[in-house]
Amino acid sequence: MPLIEFTDKGLYCRAGGFYIDPWRAVDKAVITHAHSDHARWGSKNYLCHHLTKPILQLRLGDNNYQGVEWGETILMNDVKISLHPAGHIIGSSQVRVEYKGEVWVVSGDYKIEDDGISGAFEPVKCHTFITESTFGLPIYHWKLQLTIFNDIQQWIRNNQSAGKTSVIIAYSLGKAQRVLQAVKEVTTNIFAHGAVWNTQEALLNTGVLSPGLLPEIKRVTADLPKDSFKESVVIAPPSADGTPWMRRFAPYSVGICSGWMQVRGNQRRRNADAGFALSDHADWKGLLQAVEATGAQKVLVTHGFQSAFSRYLNEAGIEAAEVKTEYGDEDEGLIVTETNTGETNNLSGDD
Ligand SMILES: [Zn+2]
Ligand SMILES: [Zn+2]
């Protein structure tokens, strides 16, 4: 029996009696991060990073939550569990599972570059590595965050000189906070959609975000006069894009922040004026780098381009297989997978 099995409820460690990011309600769930496709409602006990705990509490209500530090070891039966930074969003963690000398690591979602908010990705040695593959094609190659931030800032300045509002589309938990680090260098006149505003308030009120790290944002409300948005920046989740809610900002320009913006066609299909390929996931090189750093003999590839990525690994001499999961619809907002490449399905990403 493998240490971690793929069951209809999710990734299951039989020896330890727990699931990792289960998609059905279970008794014991270990959670990598607070995005809704990884942290689902209904389980009895949740174990997660202490920064993830308050977000789970807000999103999933009262349950039994246990928050741990990165690197702290927890025993379930005779199985050792520890969490390690995944660099994806605040509190996001990889899960290390050890039993009788065998080590498995479940990546959750991860990103290699340190974005200043999410913690720095830490490679963890293991025998078997279960990796995501959201951007597991060679065409996905990210620019440095600093370079993308410069692009965003220049775009905002151009909009300001044209008398336009800059509407930035970024999902509310993760991307929105990240992009505000760039925006605050250009303006203090920043508005946010309710979903983004609520998330930031919650992160501040629970102490997950330290005050002062991010600029103050004003909530967009119906009573605000139209000219208050003039030349400002508005942060909105993907679900708001293209809806009548946007009309009040006219004249405006829309910039989408998502790894999918690396592909020009996606920007066109979304009717965006600008696309910034700012992703909270590893790019192709990042995935390879992460796999290599684990030293794993076996790699199991989940949500994303799992067949392309596992095929490549096999050809490179690393034993790999693809595995079906039910992850992948909150964070990048626009989902393109192998089954629907070339088409955009409905935007999710709101919460
Ligand atoms: Zn995620
Ligand atoms: Zn994911």
Strand-strand pairing, 274-276 and 252-257: parallel
CA distance 204 to 198: 10
Residues composing the chain: 351
pLDDT (tens digit per residue) in 233-267:
999 999 999 999 999 999 999 999 999 999 988 88
231 alpha carbon to ligand 1 midpoint, in Å? 32
Cβ–Cβ < 8 Å for 257, 182: no
Q: How far is the CA of 329 from the centre of ligand 1 (A)?
A: 8
Residue 23 is encoded by which pair of tokens? 């998609």
d(CA 239, CA 195): 10
What is the number of helices (H) and of strands (E) in the chain? 7, 19
Q: Are 11 and 1 in contact (CB under 8 A)?
A: no
All residues at 6 or more sequence positions from 216 whose CB lies less than 8 Å from its CB, including other chains: 188, 190
CA of 95 to the centre of ligand 1 (A): 14
**Nearest-ligand number for the alpha carbon of 133:** 2
Please give the structure tokens belonging to residue 272. 């965006």
Contact partners, residue 227, CB within 8 Å, separation at least 6: none
Could you tell me the pTM of the whole model?
0.92
The Cα 155–Cα 3 span in angstroms is 49
> Which ligand places an atom closest to the C-alpha of 330?
1
Q: Using an 8 Å Cβ cutoff, are 301 and 322 in contact?
A: yes
Distance 310 CA to ligand 1 centre (A): 20
Q: Cα separations (Å) of 101 from 78, 80, 125, 127, 294? A: 11, 10, 12, 10, 16
Report CA(18)–ligand 2 centroid distance (Å): 19
Task: Provide the residue type at 43 as one letter.
Answer: S
Which listed ligand is nearest to 93 at the C-alpha?
A: 1
Nearest-angstrom CA–CA distance, 107 and 335? 19
Contact criterion met (CB below 8 Å) for 297 and 127 = yes
Q: Which amino acid is at 203?
A: L
The ligand minimizing its distance to the Cα of 23 is 2
Written in H, E and C, the secondary structure of 228-290 is HHCCCEEEECHHHCCCHHHHHHCCEEEEEECHHHHCHHHHHHCCCCEEECCCCCCCHHHHHHH
Distance 325 CA to ligand 2 centre (A): 10
- What spacing in Å lies between the alpha carbon of 330 and ligand 1's midpoint? 7
Q: What pLDDT does residue 51 have?
A: 96
Q: 229: CA distance to ligand 1 center in Å?
A: 31
Task: Please tell me whether the peptide bond between 238 and the residue prior to it is cis, using omega within 30 degrees of 0.
Answer: no
Sheet containing strand 10-13, edge to edge, reads 5-7, 10-13, 18-20, 28-30, 45-49, 64-68
H or E segment and range at residue 96: strand 93-99
Residue type for 188, please?
A: T
The β-bridge relationship of strands 74-76 and 79-85 is: antiparallel
- pLDDT 10s digits, 294-325: 999 999 999 999 999 999 999 999 999 999 89
Residues around the ion ligand 1 (C-beta < 5 A): 35, 109, 331
How far is Cα 194 from Cα 172, in angstroms, rounded to an integer? 9
Q: How many angstroms separate the alpha carbon of residue 328 from the centre of ligand 2?
A: 5
State the ligand closest to the CA atom of 173.
1
Ligand 2 geometric centre to CA of 36 (Å): 9
C-alpha span between 274 and 268 (Å, rounded): 9
Measured in Å, residue 317 CA sits from the centre of ligand 1 at: 29
Q: Ligand 1 centroid vs 264 CA: distance in angstroms?
A: 23
Q: What is the pLDDT of residue 197?
A: 96
Neighbours of 145 (CB within 10 A): 17
* Residue 90 token pair: 């605040």
Distance, CA 173 to ligand 2 centroid (Å)?
Answer: 13
Nearest alpha-carbon partner for 282 in 293, 271, 274: 293
Query: For position 332, what pLDDT does the model report?
Result: 64
Which residues of the chain register pLDDT less than 70? 329, 331-351
